[in-house]
Amino acid sequence: MWITEFLATYITAFIAKTWYITVFLWMIMESMIFPVPSEAVMPFAGFLVATGQFSLRGVILVSTLGTFVGSLLSYYIGLYGGHLFIRKWGKYFLIDQEELEMTEKFFKKRGEITIFISRFIPVVRHLISLPAGMGRMHLSKFIIYTVIGGAIWNTFLALIGKYLKENWNQVMKYSHVVDIVVLAILILIFALFVIRQVRKWKKKNKK
């Protein structure tokens, strides 16, 4: 069994058995500071839409609700002690003060529209709610931009999954190519993680 088929089979089966709860919880985590990508669950939820086990409306509703809950929790963490939280617990979520400051600068430069745009940007979307809370952004505006951006992104990923499942036989004809791409991405992610940790280690030892 190719890697692509293996992932599709087992992740989809797990989501199907746990119903919408996995989608909801995963999107809560994805919208907080956990290093959990929405790309790893939403397309597979789209698979289940294609097979009729999930409804597209249900997937969009549950995932967007998860995005809202996770983002709101992060907002309040930022509001009531974002810097302290990152200094104390950030290392356990693979983020540090430097990354938070980078996201803060991004937020201050671009303003409120950043909350919307950030839903489409890896890493930034995990952190952006913290500086929004620390900057005491108007709550209703924060919620509106978060929900709209999250709904669009979640719908996009679910539709990709639905399309792939509906054309699965064609996809599997090129499974060896897809597997190479998947492996390359995994290796790249691991390499970037190692490089990042080495740089941090060197930086600490220089002080």
Would you give the distance in Å from CA 26 to the centre of its chain?
Answer: 8
At residue 30, the pLDDT reads 84
pLDDT in tens, 184-206: 766 776 676 677 667 766 666 66
Q: To the nearest whole number, what is the mean pLDDT of the chain? A: 76
Domain ranges in the chain are: 3-173, 175-207
**The model's pTM:** 0.71
Tokens for 190, please give them: 């691991």
Q: What angle do CA 15, 20, 26 make, to 5 degrees?
A: 70
57 near 45, Cβ under 8 Å? no
Per-residue pLDDT tens for 131-153?
A: 888 777 888 888 999 999 989 99
Query: Residue 59: its pLDDT value, please?
Result: 92
What amino acid is encoded at 125 in this protein? Answer: R
75, with CB counted inside 10 A (0-12, 13-18, 19+), is buried
59: its two tokens: 């997937």
